[in-house]
Amino acid sequence: MIASPGVAARNRMAYRMDAVGYSAREAAAAHLDRAYVRTTTARAREPILPPTGRDIAPDPFDVIIRRYADAYSVESAVVRAIIEVESAFDPDARTHAGAIGLTQLMPMTARELGVNPLVPEQNVEGGVRYFSQLLEKFGDLELALVAYNAGPGFAERYVRGQVVLYGETRDYVSKVLSRVCGPDGAVGGCE
């Protein structure tokens, strides 16, 4: 059987990377990165808005964000950044994977948290509570963001060096941190 052009190209790239000493994991990550770039550039995307800053959030959600950020000991700037990157403050946002609402909760996660992801206040409460649990588990803002985007299992494998960050998760973490940290790196976890 003859491989499709895409599979043949991937295999050629993997053989070249193997020949110069890269591991199979690194070759796979490079392939995923290229696939991610191809996919995201091929889609018609809305322009990315510049960071809004630590103290700016749409009025309807500001009180909710502060309430649950304080309740779960998460910086409100982090919550705002997550919501901005996840849904651009659109309570009706949905992804092709099935994530729902402002904090883009997966239906199963929302059920486990006992919240209705279609109700903005419950969505924010569930998302902040879940992120707070990830912060406590991983003890690091960047790792908690990796876990929020790609799942706790992926983050654990990343910590052990079994996987590398690929396009989507790497971009997600970078976007959230750029909105949180800003030029002065004032929030904990920023360097």
Separation between Cα atoms, residue 4 and residue 64, nearest integer Å: 51
Active site residue 86: yes
pLDDT 10s digits, 59-78: 679 999 999 999 999 999 99
Mean pLDDT across the chain: 82
Separation between Cα atoms, residue 91 and residue 140, nearest integer Å: 27
Give me the CATH code for the 59-181 domain, please: 1.10.530.10
Counting Cβ atoms within 10 Å, is residue 12 exposed (0-12), middle (13-18) or buried (19+)?
exposed
Structural element, H or E, at residue 181:
helix 167-181
Q: What is the pLDDT of residue 60?
A: 78
80 SS3 class? helix
Spell out the long-range contacts of 32-38 with Cβ–Cβ below 8 A and sequence spacing 24 or more. 32/166, 32/167, 33/166, 33/167, 35/167, 36/166, 36/167, 36/168, 36/171, 37/167
Q: Which sign does the torsion angle of CA 111, 112, 114, 120 carry? A: negative
Which of the four pLDDT bands, split at 50, 70 and 90, describes residue 6?
low
Q: Is the pTM of this model over 0.85?
A: no
Q: Which sign does the torsion angle of CA 171, 173, 179, 183 carry? A: negative
Helices (H), 1-58: 5-19, 24-42
Separation between Cα atoms, residue 7 and residue 20, nearest integer Å: 20
Task: List the catalytic residue out of 86, 121, 125, 142.
Answer: 86
Q: What are phi and psi for residue 22, nearest 5 degrees?
A: -80, 150
Of 99 and 183, the structure prediction assigns the larger pLDDT to: 99
What are the sequence ranges of the domains in the chain? 5-42, 59-181
Of 14 and 133, the structure prediction assigns the larger pLDDT to: 133
Q: What is the pLDDT of residue 57?
A: 47
Separation between Cα atoms, residue 76 and residue 186, nearest integer Å: 12
